[in-house]
Structure 1
Amino acid sequence: MAALRKISYVASLLVLLMADLCSPVCVEVPSETKAVQGYHMKLQCISCMKREEVSADTFVEWYYRPEDGNDALIYEYRGGPLESLGTGPFHGRIQWNGSKDMQDVSITILNVTKNDSGIFTCNVTRDLNFEIHRPSVKRSKFIHLIVTEEAEEDFTSVVSEIMMYILLVFLTLWLLIEMVYCYRKVSKAEETTQESATDYLAIPSENKENCVVPVEE
């Protein structure tokens, strides 16, 4: 699962990079929802601006709600990253991973613990800078994070592993068949050569000068 998560993470970064380099198009990639205790976990929140030609002031708030608790503000961005709580379970364990254009406002939880399971809410508020007025647009994204002690075996990885073994067995059988075929072909060629040599030796000496040993292709 860890390998697949890394691949998915790299693929997401490549998609975002391509979108940033090629055009102003923003791609909203969903966040991973499963983390492993003791590892870092990126909570991905991408909120695309619908009108790129209009500048905006963006404010971000991250809330956390445990399975049996209430929402609590754990992180906010107001012109710069700002950890909201001086104390608390996430103090010193949150890292800002947002982009410069503020369309990616993701954070990373460092050293995830079992107690981090719960619902994370990403609130993005944009104040659009029009000449006459400044309308405000707000969007929210929810991430239900589940933390496990060990990485769970993913169904896709299991299927991929089974297909790999099937392919390996098929290639092995094909190689054995090719080896047997080549061996029989070489053996048959050697038998033909030996028979031709035996027939040649059986001809009387006086007739060998006028005899041509047939060669089979």
Structure 2
Amino acid sequence: MDPQGLLCPAAALLLLMVHFGSPVCVEVPSDNQVVQGSSMKLLCISCMKREEVSADTFVEWYYKPEGGDNILIYEYSKGPLERVSPFHGRLQWDGSKDMQDVSITIHNVTLNDSGTFTCNITRELKFEIHRPSVRSSRVIHLVVTEEAGEDFTAVVSEIMMYILLVFLTFWLLVEMVYCYRKVSKNEEVSQESPTDYLAIPSENKENCSVPVEEQ
């Protein structure tokens, strides 16, 4: 059988597996810097290691200011629940339905919100005989600034743009000078030609005529 004939069915089967398969969970770190007055999503993703086993998930969010103690600010147990804290009224649950993403968002961030946030996830696996618990944590050191800091890439791009602008301006000036000199030289040559002809003696002007060949 032709190997190329097997390639298309195999590719189609692979696409079907990707399409109907469960989404891939990727644990990525959260941003840790925000400007005051804006909203900040504290990203906490904890991928389930055994998707074939169902589990009950419990989440606790703690906040620790600099030099202070941990404060329970948010928890999830059969539903989101906001605790009384300095963030009361400014927290929003942004977790996913499968409870692999258990993130929260802080609205109207202030300078006093800087500190350490800890996301504790506890999963109680539902086996037939026993229910073991699996615990994981994510730590985010949040820094709140008064103004947004300039991105290094943006600064480099701006510098390169100015350098390119200066180069193009210089190149344009050089081209203008070159064209001006070339035009001036052509005008001088065109002005010298009639003057040289008038300067030729009359007896020699007949020799300047173009001879006509007889048919």
Q: TM (normalized to structure 1)?
A: 0.69
Give the secondary-structure state (helix, strand or coil) at the position aligned to 1:61.
strand
Amino acid paired to 2:30: S
What is the aligned partner in structure 2 of residue 115 from structure 1? 112
State how many pairs are aligned. Answer: 190
State how far apart, in whole Å, the 2-side matches of 1:51 and 1:127 are. Answer: 12
What is the aligned partner in structure 2 of residue 128 from structure 1? 125
Amino acid paired to 1:61: E
Q: Is the 8 A contact 1:42 1:109 kept in 2?
A: yes
- 1:208 is displaced (CA, Å) by 8.4
Does 63-72 or 127-136 show the bigger shift? 127-136
Larger radius of gyration, structure 1 or 2? 2
State how far apart, in whole Å, the 2-side matches of 1:128 and 1:33 are. Answer: 31
What is the aligned partner in structure 2 of residue 27 from structure 1? 26
Q: Deviations over 1:67-87 (max 9, x none)?
A: 11111110112232211x2x3
What is the aligned partner in structure 1 of residue 45 from structure 2? 46
Q: Over the residues paired in the alignment, what is the CA RMSD in angstroms? A: 3.3
Amino acid paired to 1:24: P
State how far apart, in whole Å, the 2-side matches of 1:22 and 1:164 are. Answer: 46
- 1:55 is displaced (CA, Å) by 3.2
State how far apart, in whole Å, the 2-side matches of 1:52 and 1:199 are. Answer: 99
Q: Percent identity?
A: 75
- In the alignment, structure 1 segments of 5+ residues that lack a partner are 1-19, 212-217
Amino acid paired to 1:66: P
Q: Is the 8 A contact 2:71 2:85 kept in 1?
A: no
Query: Compared with structure 1, are the counterparts of its residues 194 and 166 closer, same or farther at alpha carbon in structure 2 (3 Å cutoff)?
Result: same
Q: Is the 8 A contact 2:39 2:106 kept in 1?
A: yes
Q: Deviations over 1:181-216 (max 9, x none)?
A: 4445555566666666777888999788848xxxxx
Q: TM (normalized to structure 2)?
A: 0.70
Query: Compared with structure 1, are the counterparts of its residues 195 and 160 closer, same or farther at alpha carbon in structure 2 (3 Å cutoff)?
Result: same
- 1:159 is displaced (CA, Å) by 3.1
Give the secondary-structure state (helix, strand or coil) at the position aligned to 1:165.
helix
Q: Deviations over 1:58-99 (max 9, x none)?
A: 22111001111111110112232211x2x3211100011122
- 1:23 is displaced (CA, Å) by 6.6
Amino acid paired to 2:159: I
Does 66-75 or 182-191 show the bigger shift? 182-191
Q: 2:161 matched to 1:164?
A: yes
1:179-190 counterparts in 2 under 5 A? 179-185=176-182
State how far apart, in whole Å, the 2-side matches of 1:100 and 1:38 are. Answer: 29
